[in-house]
Each structure stands twice: as structure tokens, then as C-alpha cells.
Amino acid sequence: MGPPNIGFKPTARMYKLTVLVAAAAAVCFTMWMASSLLGTELAPAFGSVVPNVLGTSKDTGGRQASPLDAGRLEAARVSYDAPAPGERVNAAIVVLVRNSELDGLRKSMRMFEDRFNRRFKYPYVLLNDQNFTQEFREGIAAITKNEVRYGVLDDTLWGYSPSVTPEETDVMLERNKNRYLYGGSLSYRFMCRFQSGMFYRHPLVRDLDWYWRLEPDVEYYCDIDYDPFVFMRDNGIRYGFTIAPREGRRTVESLWYHTREWIKQNAELLPARSLVNWVMGTDGHYNLCHFWSNFEIVDLSLYRSAAYESYFRYLDNAKGFFYERWGDAPVHSIAAALLLGKGEIHWFEDIGYKHPGMLHCPRDPGMHSKCVCDPARSYTYRSACQTRFSKVNNMAKERMLQLINQSESEYRSFGESAAE
């Protein structure tokens, strides 16, 4: 007995159409099933056209029950580019960069965007002592959809201290070129002076309340799912860091002498209590501890304060940015320790970060669950300065002045050489 006579014969075109419809249905079903398991926004879109054959329930939002519902795993974000909820502060990500560092900055921004700024969408301020090339601008535009502001540094911001001469600087660069890293580099001196006391005067920065410093060739290892700016503001924190190493002694041979002199002349500018004993021992000497300022998040009112401005002007006239190699890291750190209490300085232990030479990776399991790095490689937990930060408390100004006076004789030689 043959097939019943249904009155027509299927054509080749009908067979092809049937195959296409079946394939489309299979694709839709597969996508709906996968999105249901992952918790993405595709499930609602396909749920209206695909039958409920997986036994979903209303209390899982139309998804198939999964370990996510038991709280064992965190659901994937609906859209990583969707702005994170909450307010924003008047802040920017500030970068000093050369045209030749495009690849290094693209690498840094790619990680920074993925870990934080694709959702929080703070603008970038890129500063250069030369005009940015079109190639550079296009390369950055391909990395981020967020606003990018470009600025050029003029001679008032990028140049010599008024107390030095190019001729004397050349002599000192030659003398120091083999004594330490960048010992003979003039551009490095310009950079350190600019970052120490000039960057916040630039027109693109001077109206900001907060800044986060970013550099080429750094790496961010952990998802940052909150706003550090808002966290700092709400908790009365004015300076944030990740890594705290020691400075090379030869690069700052007279920095503490000049800092002591400024303290003695400007004690009225200092608070009654501060974290100065993080950088100063009971012998009254500088212990070389500093916050590595290639990563810092700062309330810029700190650098614009009368005390910091006075301190920077004093140092700028002391010639050490050029005749030695005073870096912005020890300058910022000593100032923060002098002017702030411990509660105003915060270690962002949860932000995994690497600058060439040192790495921080959180070892706390709750923090590390958001990271892709090895805590065993972290310099931070081996750092004597980091350990000291966790242990010391604020010191009274009277005690600080007492320790400085007790060690006065040991700094007499610096005073004699400075007077020559």
C-alpha cells in the first residue's frame, strides 16, 4: 500500500524552504537555551517565540534553574558597556604620554577600560609636550568610546626650575648619569618636576576635583565594580595608592634636609597630627618610603592647598629636581604624610596592578576572586614600607618637631653645602 494521494507533489523549492525553516528554528532554540543558562538579555527576546520545553519557572525570571540561583556564582553582566548606576564626581583619568608611547598606552587603556572605565565612563585627559599626531588620536579612538581630551604642555609647565640654569644642569647630568637610573636624562627631570607640582595647573586639569593617574605599559588585573572616586569622597579619603616601595637613596640625597628646613619655617601650615612617622623614623631621618605615584587617586584640593604649594615652591627653589633626581613619588608621599592623617590615606589592596618593575596582586580570597594574577608574585606583601603603613599611627606635630630638633646636628653638612 503506497502513500496516500494528497493531491499535489512537493517541489524542490518546497524542500529547500522546509530545510531553511528547520535550520532557523534550530539556531533560535540553541541561542535561547544558551542565553538562558548564561543569564544574558537574549533569553527574553527569544522566550516569546520558543516554547517552554526546559521547565523554567517564574521565580528564576524565565531562565532555567542553575547554580547562579543558589548564589554560588555571580551572573554575567547584561551589558558591559551599560553605564554603572550611581553618581559621578568631577574627575578624569590623567595621562602624561609621548606619541611614541601609543602602543603602551593602548595596552594600558584596554585593560583599564575592561576592568573599570567601560562602565564608569570617566573622561581621559592626555597631556604631551608635543602636538599629538593623527595616528595617535586614531589609535586611542579605537580603544575607547569615552571622551578623550588632548592637551599640550607649554614652557610654563614643562621646563627648568627657576633656580637652575641649563649649563649647571648639564654638568650635574653628566656627573649623575652612571649613579642611578635616568641619572643623565633631562626629560626625566622635566617629567618629575611637572608631576610634582605643575600638572594640576594645566587648563584641562585645573577645574577637576579628583584625578586618577594612568601611564603607558601598566596592567590592571582585577574587576573594579565600584567607583573609587565616590568611595574616597564618601569616606573622607584624599590619597589612594597600591604599591609602597623605597626610593633610591642617591636620587634624594638632600630632599629630607630641605623638607626639614621647610617644616621648621612653616610649622603653622601643618595639622596637629599627621602620618609623618610613616616616612620619618624616631631618629628624625627619612626612611625612603613612598607611594609609587604612577598609580594614585587624589583629591586635588590636597595639591592646591596653601601648604602643598608652599612645599613645592620651596623644593623647586632648592634645585634638587635637576641637580639630583627628586621624583614626584617621594615628593607627593612626604607631603601626604605631613599633611594628612592615616584615615585620609587608603591602600587599594583590591586593585591588582603592575608597573614595569613591581606588581601588586591581592591575596585575600574575596578580592582575588575578581582578579587574574598570582598573589605569590606580589611585591606588596614583602614591602617593609607597606608593612609599616599598616602598623604606624598618627604623630603629633610637637613630637615631630622634637625629633627634627634632636637630629639637627646630623644635617649641618647639608646646610653648609646648600649655602655655598
What residues are labeled active site?
296
Measured CA to CA, the distance from residue 329 to residue 289 in angstroms comes to 10
Between the alpha carbon of residue 392 and those of residues 250, 281, 381, 387, 420, the distances in Å are 26, 11, 16, 9, 38
Measured CA to CA, the distance from residue 116 to residue 224 in angstroms comes to 5
Tracing cell 599640550 back to the chain, one arrives at 152
For the chain, helix (H) and strand (E) counts, in that order, are 16, 12
Cβ distance 163 to 317 under 8 Å? Answer: yes
At 123, is the secondary structure helix, strand, or coil?
coil
Q: Which of 91, 97, 151 is nearest to 300 (CA)?
A: 91
State how far Cα 289 lies from the chain centre.
Answer: 19
Which DSSP category does 293 fall into?
T
SS (H, E, C) 172-225: HHHHHCCCCCCCCCHHHHHHHHHHHHCHHHCCCCCCCCEEEECCCCCEECECCC
For residue 394, count other CB atoms closer than 10 A to its CB.
Answer: 19
Q: Which three cell numbers stand for residue 313?
A: 615652591
Helix (H) or strand (E) holding 229: helix 228-234
Measured CA to CA, the distance from residue 60 to residue 317 in angstroms comes to 67
For β-strands 148-152 and 210-213, DSSP reports them as unpaired
Q: Which three cell numbers stand for residue 49?
A: 517565540
Partners of 95 in the β-ladder: 126
Length of the chain as a residue count: 420
Q: Which of 140, 152, 151, 284 is nearest to 216 (CA)?
A: 140
Cβ distance 236 to 343 under 8 Å? Answer: yes
What is the signed CA dihedral for 81, 82, 87, 93, rounded to 10 degrees? 10
